[in-house]
Each structure stands twice: as structure tokens, then as C-alpha cells.
Amino acid sequence: MLTFILATASGLSVANIFYSQPLLDLIAQTFRTTESAAAVVVTVTQLGYAAGIIVLVPLGDLIESRALASRVLVVTAIAAGLAAVAPNLTTFLIVSVLLGFTSVVAQVVIPVAAHLAPASERGRFVGRVMSGLLLGIMLARSVSSLLADLWGWRAVYVVSAALMLVMAVVLAATLPRRRPDHTDGYRSLMVSIGHLVRTEPALRRRAAGQALMFATFSAFWTSIAYELIRQYHMSQTEIAIFALVGAAGAAAAPIAGRLGDRGLGRPSTGVVFVLAAVAMAVAGFGSHNLVVLAVAGILLDLAVQGHLVLSQQEIYQLRPDARSRINTVFIGSIFFGGAIGSAASGLLYDHEGWIGVTAFGVILSIIGFGLWCGSEALLRRRESALPELRSLRRFGKAGKRS
């Protein structure tokens, strides 16, 4: 039951970041602005989320998690309510930053899940919670489209505000208390984040790879609504049905968790980068076939979510006492990448159309695959050098004894 609650809290909170993606056309009409200007909503929400990751999530290593999660959810509810009544685009953008900033509860409770799980099953346990988070990401677009079709786009934020208040009460009542290990204060906590970045190459590698993945993901899903409206003349309900294909990506979470537990995280990482590149290429060349576009969306989401879980399975083993701070670096870099992908896709779609967006995604995936190849080569050289270093040390000790 606790796993289900953590998964639900993760999914509902992170969904706030993605509600606006299929609503951009409606938002542009309401505020009488251009599509590229409306796309800025996605960018600032993700930047707000990244800022929340940097400022709020490290507090999970300093403040008791149950109190932190429930209180942040109350502020999220207030932000969603303000978004529902925003009178103009400027106000809506400001409130979107606040909404993104406070929608970080998923990143507060996922490290809690890692703490609760036995070491041998951590990948699977985190994978189950991640399934809820990923379903929130994938279903957010469908839910927002359906609600917008029924009651208008502002209803999306009214419903979100109510859900955030409910989850605040549920977490306050059910989440176990966990006393954080860090006791030196917030300033020391933030300084230690920089130390983690400098001293943990696996964290840097995983953060960079997932940032590229999420930029690709965000570029696809930010622009696909425009393509479906222009190419297929879809309504908001039809866009919602199409967006359901993304829910298949949640299936990658438990599978990736099992692969990581079996020691297959490194080779699987290369596979998911190739899968992402193939997905974006298929989306570009098959844009005139709706089924092909749906298949591309499924493949892309499988790749992105698979890499996410594989990465978390690895980085949570680095420093058990600093999982919230590790999460800060990792998730913060992801949403900076997502913000860049959203902004670039809006500009590319305006000037180059859908083919420009998909080409951008292919390039990002190829860069990610190149980084993986380079890191694999470096890791193999280090591993091959370890026996030689051990033999040299033994030889040195033997020489000293003689």
C-alpha cells in the first residue's frame, strides 16, 4: 500500500509539469498570442521545476520527509489555483514558474522509497514507484486534453489543486518518519552538492545522458499537438486519446529496474539511446501515418523511461546518505534539458516544421549514444587496469617484506 501511495503522489505531482503541453493552442487563443509564445509556458514550468529540484529537494537530507512533502503539496495546490484564474499570459507564466517550482514532491519521496527498499531489491522497488511517476508524466497530456474538451483548459488546474490538497493529507497520515542524516545546516548542504558533482563521475555521466534524453522527449511531446491539429485536424479529445500511447512507456520502469539489479545497466543504456534515435527518425519519416507516429511515441517513451530508471538504480548506490542531493543534481539537469528541448522545438516547428523537430531529436540521441560509448571505453580501460594495479601493489608489499 505504501508503494502505491508513493507512486500516486509522484505521478500526480509531476503531472503538473506536463498539463500545459496539449493545451498550448487553447492557451494561445485565450491570451491572443502566437504558438511559439505559448510554448514558453512549457519552458518556464520546467525551469521552475529545475529550480525547485535545486532549492527544495536537498532539504530531504535535512528536514523530515513527511513534513516536507505534505507542506510543499499545499503550496502546489495554491499555485495551481492561481493558474486557473490567471487573467493574462504574463501572470500565467509567473504562476507556471511557481507551479513547477513546487511540483517536486516526487523527487522528495523517491529517495524515501530507495531508503525503505532492501539493497538487493532497490531497483525493483524504485522502479515500481517510478511507474507511478511515469504514468503521471504520460497520462497528464491525455487528462488535460479531456478536461479541456469538457470544461475548458482552466478546469485542468482546478482539478490539480484539489488533488494536491488530497495528497498532502494522505502523505501526512501515511508516510513513515525518517530522520535525515545531515545535521550541518542548509548552507553546508548546498555546498556539498557541488562536491558530489566533482567527485562522482557516474552522477555526471548519468545526468548528462538523461538531460539529452529528456530534451528529445520534451521536443517531441511539445510539438506533437501542433502537428496533430495541423496534419490531422484533431480535437482536444482526439489528442488526449493519442497521448495515451505514451502510457506504454511506464512498462519500461520495472523492466529496467530488473535489468539494473542483474548488472545489465551499462549495456542496456546504449540500447535505449539507439531506440530513442530510431523513434525520432520514424516520427520524422512517418509523419503522414498516424499509426507510425503512435509507434514512434511508444518507442521514445520506452527509451526515456528505461534510461531514467537505469540511471537512478546506479546513482542511488553512490552515497546512501546523500540520495536527496544526488537526486537534485540528476533531476535538475534533466529538466534543464527538457526546458531547452521545449524552447528549441517551438522555434524549430515555426521555421522548419515537424521534420526539423524530429531531426533535432535524432541529433540529441546520437550525442547521447556517443557519450555512452566514450564512458564505456573509459570504464573498460579502468577495469582492465585494476588487476595490474593490484599485482603491482602485491609486488611492492612483497619487496618491502624481503
Place of cell 540521441: 365
Domain range annotation of the chain? 2-401
Contacts of 249 (CB under 8 A, 6+ apart): 134, 138, 298, 300, 301, 302, 304, 305
Looking at residue 83, its pLDDT comes to 93
Range 286-303 average pLDDT: 89
Range 270-288 average pLDDT: 92
**pLDDT (tens digit per residue) in 185-214:** 777 778 888 888 888 988 999 999 999 999
Contacts of 372 (CB under 8 A, 6+ apart): 209, 269, 270, 273
DSSP state letters, 253-277: HHHHHHHHHTT-HHHHHHHHHHHHH
Write out the three cell numbers for 336: 534543464
CA–CA distance, 229 with 38 (Å, rounded to integer) = 15
Range 277-304 average pLDDT: 91
Among 252, 371, 314, which residue's Cα sits nearest to residue 114? 314
Is this prediction's pTM over 0.75?
no
CATH of domain 2-401: 1.20.1250.20
Write out the three cell numbers for 44: 518556464
Q: What percent of the chain has pLDDT over 90?
A: 25
Among 93, 89, 49, 127, which residue's Cα sits nearest to residue 312? 127
CA–CA distance, 344 with 360 (Å, rounded to integer) = 9
Torsional class of 312: left (φ above 0), alpha (ψ -120 to 50), beta (otherwise): alpha
Range 109-128 average pLDDT: 67
Residue 229 pLDDT exceeds 80? yes
Looking at residue 49, its pLDDT comes to 86
Contacts of 201 (CB under 8 A, 6+ apart): none
Contacts of 107 (CB under 8 A, 6+ apart): 53, 57, 60, 324, 327, 328, 331
CA–CA distance, 383 with 4 (Å, rounded to integer) = 39
CA–CA distance, 221 with 338 (Å, rounded to integer) = 11
The gap from C-alpha 360 to its chain's centroid, in whole angstroms, comes to 19
The CA-based diameter of the chain, rounded to the nearest angstrom, is: 86
Burial of residue 226 (CB within 10 Å: 0-12, 13-18, 19+) is buried
Looking at residue 120, its pLDDT comes to 61
CA–CA distance, 95 with 48 (Å, rounded to integer) = 10
Rg (CA), the chain: 22
Fill in the amino acid letter for 91.
Answer: T
CA–CA distance, 157 with 216 (Å, rounded to integer) = 26
**pLDDT (tens digit per residue) in 7-52:** 888 889 989 988 888 888 888 888 888 777 777 888 888 888 888 8
In degrees, rounded to 5, the angle at the alpha carbon of residue 37 between the alpha carbons of residues 229 and 280 is: 50
CA–CA distance, 175 with 160 (Å, rounded to integer) = 21
The gap from C-alpha 88 to its chain's centroid, in whole angstroms, comes to 28
Per-residue pLDDT band for 385 (boundaries 50, 70, 90) equals low
Looking at residue 85, its pLDDT comes to 93
CA–CA distance, 94 with 62 (Å, rounded to integer) = 28
Range 155-164 average pLDDT: 95
Instruction: Look at 13 and 402; give whichever has higher pLDDT.
Output: 13
- pLDDT averaged over every residue in the chain: 82
Place of cell 546520437: 366
Instruction: Look at 321 and 377; give whichever has higher pLDDT.
Output: 377
Contacts of 46 (CB under 8 A, 6+ apart): 17, 100, 218, 335, 336, 338, 339, 342
Looking at residue 190, its pLDDT comes to 80
- Among 7-16, 223-232, 306-315, 353-362, name the most confident range: 353-362
Among 61, 129, 126, which residue's Cα sits nearest to residue 325? 61
